[in-house]
Structure 1
């Protein structure tokens, strides 16, 4: 459970948002925002936050857990019909304008809420709560550090096991087993393992393809720890790939290094993306890159800030995101290398600890 002071600060962020948007309440349904503002990690629940009230509605499976994890909220156990419980909780509250997560609340849920509370004005929220979460507090930074440490350790234990003749699926299974032994809530996303020319598929699903000598092996993976994600990619060199392949490898690593050197508060996501993209343009390879350099990481594997083409989002101290330049030449080669960084006042701190250059 996070410290009480940290949760109080998050609730104050929500109340400042209410004041800014001239709302009386926020109805929160998504798992990530529910966990962020209340600390509750159960799979079912609804939050109501007003200027003077915090309520968490959940079912009887989670009542005791909610009391333990969310001491700043009134815990209400719903009956068989959650809507009657929601109606009871909302009753008597001074609400006329209420915000809701329009990208998470289903049409069915929204229509039921509108039919029950016909007197309310419902205001759709899209990225607003996500933007509240994009600058990480000290507790979040430490949890993400731990998630990354688990990833780094699992990868270090995987390297001695890798050898030509394994299949991509075997590599993925070994890595996920090692991550599991070190303790986590599961993979952050579907582990990507791609050998040889299959690495040209940015989100390749591990297959029965054999990992051969004298080619690259791309591994992209992460863990979920206390709700937070890690994310890392390494392109491993097996044997002695030809000079043409090595060229792509060197260019991508240069793009990563240039990007990390460029990070500073006040720049836009677009400007940071350009640091890597300019390397690819110089080499005449920009067409083989993706449209973005990286993404925020937190309670979701992809969140703000977005470090992509045309992004005007301003980088701020406390933001955590990936930097993952890549080149993907169909049928020939794929190379990606990815670190997670934390923006500091004078640049950035690299949180990923695994060496970038790995040779087998």
Structure 2
């Protein structure tokens, strides 16, 4: 934690900021270790203060021993001001992408002689390049996803519902060590699989249909994400062609993505493959997104992304083709970027399974 805080302090000096208010829970956890839902971190030039309420005071002392713990007695802004004045703050940075206009305005009214400076995604950019321990947690989360995929296959039978499969996936991952699932699990059958983020329903499964499953475990706060698409019964020629094309696009991207590219360059590797086959209009989302304490982080691998890809970043690679009335295929892996290319953390087969 101390190394992370020192990196942040160096960034703050570049922005000519004395102190930073950190309000976003994932950023508080990253910088202090505190996992409670009520807290604000004040990062000063030499000391760090964690403001929380009585319900989390004991937890904060245990999880964030390097912080000065302040238990709130009055409003948040009153506590902010007392600490800020004690440490002689003049320019205070705040997370402008997270703090509401209302909270900003209320704090600004009570401050005299202190300037509030908006800083967007400063901590998130520190979080983008992962430490070895963070990659280990994401790897463990990916393995839980792999185990869940193997577990769910025998449950895929005629008449099962999307919700039943989603619940079984969730139960299995939590029972086997996941802190929780990373997002609402997506299970979509048949023509409904053409919706990239279909809402899981009571729809029943029939032979010949695609089964698209997008799910992920959280381990010690860190997310993994995977999608696999399988078939109940025998595949048709068109189903096999679409599936093959998605896999080819993904494999090409996995082999060509490298440190030093920007997000749009990585995205174009897979998108060119799909465009060349005539399905450009059927691949309407980004190729991937960062993974970590949040399910969507920096970097973005998309057509407009200028995010620089660096060794140590973790993200998804997930091309897809979605055809209304026919169905959709997505194949998604969690990966970590190394100096010599991509290392895939998801281990589940990408063979088109006929169940």
Q: Which range, TM-score by smaller chain?
A: over 0.9
TM-score by length of 2: 0.97
What is the CA–CA distance in structure 1 between the aligned matches of 2:79 and 2:179, rounded to whole Å?
31
Is 1:143 matched with 2:137? yes
SS of 2:180's equivalent in the other structure is coil
Q: Deviations over 1:75-122 (max 9, x none)?
A: 111114333322222222121111101121122221121122232211
Q: Deviation per CA, 1:214-249, whole angstroms, max 9, x where unpaired?
A: 221000011222221111000012211211121111
Alignment: residue pair count:
354
1-side partners of 2:174 and 2:133: how far apart?
A: 23
- Which of 111, 114, 127 pairs up with 2:105? 111
CA–CA separation in structure 1 for the residues paired with 2:197 and 2:289: 15
The question of 1:344 aligning with 2:338 is answered yes
In the alignment, the residues of structure 2 paired with residue 201 and residue 250 of structure 1 have an alpha-carbon distance, to the nearest angstrom, of: 19
TM-score normalised to structure 1 length:
0.95
The answer for the alignment partner of 2:46 in structure 1 is 52
1:215–1:240 contact (8 Å) kept in structure 2: no
Say whether the 8 Å CA contact 1:197–1:333 is kept in structure 2: yes
Show the counterpart of 2:328: 334
1:93 pairs with 2:87: yes
**What is the Cα deviation at residue 300 of structure 1?**
0.9
Q: Which residue of 1 aligns with 2:354?
A: 359
- Tell me the SS of whatever aligns to 1:130: helix
Deviates further, 316-325 or 268-277: 268-277
Q: Which residue of 1 aligns with 2:282?
A: 288
32 and 274 in structure 1: CA distance in 2 versus 1, 3 angstrom threshold: same
1:246-257 aligned within 5 A: 246-257=240-251
- 1:235 and 2:229 matched: yes
CA contact (8 A) 2:234 2:354 kept: no
How far did residue 260 of structure 1 move?
Answer: 0.2
For residues 14-93 of structure 1, the aligned pairs below 5 Å read: 14-93=8-87
Task: Please give the alpha-carbon distance, in whole angstroms, between the structure 2 residues aligned to 1:24 and 1:82.
Answer: 20
Distance 1:148 1:280 in 2: 26
Is residue 320 from structure 1 mapped to residue 349 from structure 2 by the alignment?
A: no
Aligned to 1:3: none
> Does the CA-based 8 Å contact 1:154-1:182 persist in structure 2?
no
Within 5 Å, which residues of 2 pair with 1:177-326? 177-326=171-320
Give the root-mean-square deviation of aligned CA atoms.
Answer: 1.2
The verdict on how the C-alpha distance between 1:293 and 1:23 changes in structure 2, with shifts beyond 3 A counting, is: same
How far is the alpha carbon of 1:12 from its aligned partner?
0.9
C-alpha distance in 2 between matches for 1:359 and 1:345: 37
The CA deviation at 1:142 is 1.2
Does 2:137 match 1:152? Answer: no
* Worse overlay, 170-179 or 81-90: 81-90
- Return 5+ residue gaps in structure 2 as ranges: none
